[in-house]
Amino acid sequence: MSTDLSLHHRRRAPTPAEMAAIPWLALLGANERERAEHELKVGDALTGDFVCRIGRPVTYWFGVVDGLLKMSSDSPDGHSMTFTGVPPGGWFGEGTALKREPYRYNIQALRKSVVAGLPVDTFHWLLDHSIGFNRFVMNQLNERLGQFIAAREIDRMANPEVRVARSLAALFNPVLYPGVGELLRITQQELAYLVGLSRQRVNEALTALATQGAIRVEYGGLRVLDLTALRANVFQTS
């Protein structure tokens, strides 16, 4: 983790381009949007920085403007368990913000990232005043439930092709991560961290999926060619 100023102490006002990358702002009325834009902050997270830590009180509702984060927890035996990655456009922690409870997971930057934060009091104010914001949060909660059910299924899969396919499909979710589009900027090592496999096994799985026409490996990332197939797990061979 960085030994410089914490992410909280590096917060700043977002640039116009960063503001434009926040998907739910367009759903707000004029007065609601004015308040949200005034309250929003962004921070430049360095590799290894923690955005949220287990047991800490919730102060912001967070989203990824650029970069890649991972959501994880510590098991009783001291091992870290990764739940999912959070690519650009993804907002997370709405359940924790709703209940104003301490975090039950860690959120950490896998690479240099730009993270946006909306103060939790403003989050609740928008819930009280904006129908559009309420719908966005409800869709988030619904998609998140499906995501974690799928993550439990992925944990039980022995076939690395299937694990990588299903994990990639989750990262290309257009509702949770509208900033990704068709190209996910991720390295094989970063994907290995998220999937829980070695880099070599991930490389073999990506090669197989590319041969089958599901993805294309490009410079600096992965392009999905058949998201439906990745989700349906039609490539499973065992």
208, 115 Cβ separation under 8 angstroms: no
**pLDDT score of 17 more than 90:** yes
Q: Do domains 8-150 and 158-232 have the same CATH topology?
A: no
Residue 233 has a CB neighbour count (10 Å cut-off) of: 16
The fold of the 8-150 domain, in CATH, is Jelly Rolls (2.60.120)
Residue type, 160: P
Say if domain 158-232 classifies as CATH 2.40.37.10: no
Phi-psi label, residue 186: left if phi above 0, alpha if psi -120 to 50, beta otherwise: beta
**pLDDT score of 3 more than 50:** no
93, 16 Cβ separation under 8 angstroms: no
86, 68 Cβ separation under 8 angstroms: yes
Considering the chain, what is the average pLDDT of its residues?
Answer: 87
Distance (Å, rounded) from C-alpha 107 to C-alpha 110?
10
Residue 27 has a CB neighbour count (10 Å cut-off) of: 16
What integer pLDDT is reported at residue 102 of this predicted model?
94
What integer pLDDT is reported at residue 34 of this predicted model?
97
Distance (Å, rounded) from C-alpha 90 to C-alpha 64?
5
Q: Break the chain into its structural domains and give their ranges.
A: 8-150, 158-232
What integer pLDDT is reported at residue 237 of this predicted model?
43
Tokens 């058949």, residue located? 226
> Of all residues in the chain, what percent are helix, strand and coil, respectively (each to 5)?
45, 20, 35
pTM over 0.85: no
User: What's the rounded mean pLDDT across residues 22-47?
Assistant: 96
Phi-psi label, residue 93: left if phi above 0, alpha if psi -120 to 50, beta otherwise: left
Q: What is the DSSP letter of 222?
A: E
Tens of pLDDT, residue by residue over 188-234, are 999 998 888 899 999 999 999 999 899 999 988 999 998 888 877 54
Structure tokens of 83? 């739940």
**pLDDT score of 78 more than 90:** no
**pLDDT score of 114 more than 90:** yes
Tens of pLDDT, residue by residue over 151-198, are 666 666 567 888 888 888 888 888 899 888 888 999 999 999 888 889
